[in-house]
Structure 1
Amino acid sequence: MKKHIFLALFITTFCFAQKTTVYCIGDSTMANKKDPDRNPEHGWAQVLQPFFTDNIIVVNKAVNGRSTKSFINEKRWDSICKKLKKGDYVFIEFGHNDEKIEDSTRYTNPHTAYRYNLIRFVKETRAKGATPILLTSIARRNFNEKGVLVPTHGDYPLETRLVAQEYKVPFIDLEYYTELLEQSYGPEKSKQLHLHFKAGENGYYDKDKADDTHLSLKGATAVAQIVIDQIKLLEESSIEKLKKQIK
């Protein structure tokens, strides 16, 4: 009897130990939103778990309004880094709030502080035996009067690309692929990917809502699908375990 109990405990412990954690760090475009059954807004990492088997645990630590600077200064990164174990993954997508030049608690120079914060995430993740994956910021729905999607992120995506290249980090150019997504919907239909409601149209909003940065459930799911599709195409050996757990 004792042998059976011990064996059951061993199997349970072994199976639990086999779980791989995917930590997501970033801003509101990624983050979990309160009251998801009523709230039209969703972060793309909020809907990521169903794309994986049960052997992957998605832990979404992205937080509204955070830049690389504030995420670090608030000790949010330290709390994650302490928990990282060999074989885990960290999805890193910042930029929207690093751009906030009017806010000294969040703004980073893309070529200095932002760059070195990304390098810190990469190095400290690898020091724990985990794998970082860098992603550029999702595109905003920012069409001009000619129907041209105009970029809004300045040099932040460029620096993300350069860090990924220099440090040989698995990389997903999410800005590029979400630009394609926005363009495929066009200036009007792309509103469906975001938060566009007239007053009273949705019970969650009592005033007109026109948000071209944050995502609807439709938009979040589409972005999550892009991330999954791009993971499948990554060639780094460190990603193979993750690729095998995609449904």
Structure 2
Amino acid sequence: MKSQLTTSLSMQTPINKNAIPYMTTNKLKSLYMKWTIVLFMLLSLNCLAQKPTIYGIGDSTMANKVKPEENPERGWGQLFPMFLTDNIKFDNRAVNGRSTRSFINEKFWESVYKSLKKGDYVFIQFGHNDQKEKDSTRYTNPHTAYRHNLIRFINETREKGATPILFSSICRRNFNENGVLIPTHGDYTLETRLVAQEYNVPFIDMEYYTELLEQKYGPEKSKKIHLHFAAGEIPYYKNEKHEDDTHLSVEGATAIAKIAAEELKKTKLDLVQYIKK
């Protein structure tokens, strides 16, 4: 009996001690691969669903204005979204009265920098307040501090995989007695052009195109694109307002936002696909 049992056992297929662990490892590998593929697909779908963002940084000529239902003033960045498709966001971080210096020192740039992600864009337009020679918190030398602040915006934007775009300042309505439009930005717009060339940054010459706009309207009619109102003409201004040739009316901001959109279309940026035809 014992001999028969021994013979029977010896005839059975030997047990492979590594079989169960081997099969388990294979199954685990297969399961791991499947979950990796699923996770990759989910992440890819999330990336596709996440819209790129354009951040606008600059001064009051670009900034959003409070109480738009009452206030006739607009920044061109406030109206720029009307020229964009729904597949991109415009986050206007421009702030009234800021220069490159104060925008950095007051942590506005830090906030934008932390929000930036790959595929985003940053519209950069400063100069009006960098000229404030009597204000140490805002003034910058165009060839030193202003220049290096622009370079910082460019480099840090690129660090995040985003694309910087430089805009020269829009011109002021500054016609002389002969109807000639006189520039007021000195070397700031020149330095913006030079930085754009040196660092291979897309450049939109807003000063030039807004000069054409002012000249098209002429010395008198160009008041319509700025803030010129008689006392009591609109409730928002209690007193007359006839000396603001820097800031923009709805008509002016719309026209300048359109200029920005049309000029961006001429670039080779992927951004073009997000601008309405």
TM range (shorter): over 0.9
Letter in 1 for 2:187: D
Residue type of the partner of 1:215?
L
User: Is 1:216 aligned to residue 245 of structure 2?
Assistant: no
Letter in 2 for 1:230: E
Residue 232 of structure 1 aligns with which residue? 265
Specify the code of the residue in structure 2 equivalent to 1:243: V
Output the amino acid matched with 1:31.
A
Question: Hey, what's the Cα distance between the residues in 2 that align with 1:96 and 1:198?
Answer: 26
CA distance in 1, matches of 2:45, 2:75: 32
Give me the TM-score of the superposition, normalised by structure 2. Answer: 0.83
1:48 is paired with a residue whose SS is helix
1:14/1:119 CA distance change after superposition, 3 Å: closer
Give the corresponding residue for 2:103: 71
Report the equivalent of 2:10.
none
Q: How does 1:146-185 map to 2 (within 5 A)?
A: 146-185=178-217
CA distance in 1: counterparts of 2:187 and 2:253, whole angstroms:
24
For 2:66, the equivalent position in structure 1 comes to 34
Deviation string, structure 1 residues 63-94 (Cα, Å, up to 9, x no partner) = 00000000000111011101100110000000
**2:53 matched to which residue of 1?**
21
Structure 1, residues 110-130: CA drift from partner, whole Å, max 9, x if none?
000000000000000011100
Structure 1 residues 113-152: aligned runs within 5 Å: 113-152=145-184
Q: Residues of 2 paired with 1:219 and 1:80: CA distance?
A: 27
Residues 167-216 of structure 1 deviation map (CA, whole Å, 9 limit, x = unaligned): 00000010000000000000000000000000001111000102100000
1:58 corresponds to which of 90, 94, 98: 90
Tell me which amino acid in the other structure corresponds to 1:245. Y
Compute the displacement of 1:10 (Å): 8.0
- Looking at structure 2, the residues matched to 22 and 84 of structure 1 have their Cα atoms a distance apart, in angstroms, of 9
Deviation at 1:11?
A: 9.6
CA change 1:117–1:10 in 2 (3 A) is closer
Q: Would you say 1:206 and 2:235 are equivalent positions?
A: no
Q: Distance in 2 between matches of 1:11 and 1:50?
A: 29
Partner of 2:22: none
Alignment-derived partner of residue 272 in structure 2: 243
- Unaligned regions of 5+ residues in structure 1, if any? 1-8
Cα shift readout 1:104-147 (whole Å, capped 9, x = no counterpart): 00000000000000000000001110000000000000000000
Distance in 2 (CA, whole Å) between partners of 1:218 and 1:11 is 42
CA distance in 1, matches of 2:252, 2:176: 20
Matched letter for residue 87 of structure 1 = G
What is the RMSD computed on CA atoms of the aligned residues? Answer: 1.5
Identity %: 68
| One-letter amino acid of the counterpart of residue 244, structure 1 | Q
Which structure has the larger Rg over C-alpha atoms? 2
Which one-letter code corresponds to 2:179 in the other structure? G
Choose which of 204, 225, 231 in structure 2 pairs with 1:193.
Answer: 225
TM-score (norm 1): 0.92
Q: Does 1:105 align with 2:132?
A: no
Aligned length: 235
| CA–CA separation in structure 2 for the residues paired with 1:14 and 1:120 | 27
Letter in 2 for 1:184: K
